[in-house]
Amino acid sequence: MTTKIKINGPLVRGDDKWVYDFFGMEATSATDVLDNLPADNSEVEININSGGGLVDVGAEIYTALRAYAGPVTVNVMGMAASAASIIAMAGDTVKMSPVARIMIHNASAESAGDYRAMDKMSDMLKNANDALSNAYMIKTGMDKDKLLDLMNETTYLTADKAKELGFIDEVMFESSDEPTLVASETSTLLPKSVIDKVRNMQDVKNTTVELSAKDLQPMIKQAIQDLKDTTIIDGKTLTEWDEFNKQKEEPAKENHIFGGFFSKL
């Protein structure tokens, strides 16, 4: 029997996952994968559609899948970007939908402090890039410097290109059709401020959150506004698209990818 495990949404810490569940948002923690690996080492199928997330979470899942004694097949269903692309490299066999993409790029982080802190952060990021590139190198056999160059350029790979370079073994359905690009890849990680606000309202010893509609409404409103201000579609944030559509006297919010969702909240 084959065990199928889905990796969808951002890669998040286990102790943050409940916040995403609270808002009804897809997210994946390392526990979601590790706890579902069969004890009998039977076949595992990993289905990925994720824009990435936290590097350490991606690395933990990658390591667990590589260490798993049974056969592992990875299917890139839509997107395997950033840390999710690292997980994709863990498959004994890696397959990719003809309309899917893989994206590799450099690790990034926020930092503050003087020039010494900035130098230290720069070294830390370079170290992370070097470590992550090992996953690509093991799978593809490519030269590490070439891979680091691809990461520097933030490289998107179609199924055909990924197969040519060795990132995958098969193109699903044996089709060479390439996807029509309609929007840039965006992050769906909840802003840290939202996680902190919800976390502060929860007793650390109690997993039950009790909120009134009055308490919840401004929190959801702020979370939506944060997402609209940081989600970029074709060079504009969703907030800018709203203003653009209002100026054109077209129905606001219905003309972009997430419009229907935001208009209902």
- What secondary structure does DSSP assign to 72-88, as a single string? EEEEEEEEEETHHHHHH
The question of whether 85 is a catalytic residue gets the answer: no
Q: What angle do CA 223, 32, 2 make, to 5 degrees?
A: 135
Predicted confidence band at 228 (pLDDT cuts at 50, 70, 90)? Answer: confident
Instruction: Give the residue carrying structure tokens 């590490």.
Output: 144
Whole-angstrom Cα distance, residue 26 to residue 21? Answer: 7
**pLDDT at residue 231 is higher than 80:** no
DSSP 53: B
Give the largest CA-CA distance in the chain. 61
User: So where are the chain's domains?
Assistant: 3-174, 192-263
| pLDDT more than 90, % of the chain | 57
Start-to-end C-alpha separation, the chain: 41
The question of whether 105 is a catalytic residue gets the answer: yes
Q: Which of 159-168, 174-183, 210-219 has the highest mean pLDDT?
A: 159-168
**Catalytic entry in 29, 85, 97, 105:** 105
Indicate whether this model's pTM tops 0.85: no
One of 3.40.50.920, 3.90.226.10, 3.20.20.140, 2.40.30.10 is the CATH number of 3-174, namely: 3.90.226.10
Whole-angstrom Cα distance, residue 7 to residue 24? Answer: 16
Confidence at residue 175, expressed as pLDDT on a 0 to 100 scale: 45
**Catalytic entry in 50, 82, 85, 97:** 82
Average per-residue pLDDT for the chain: 84
- What digits encode the pLDDT tens for the residues 126-146? 998 999 999 999 999 999 999
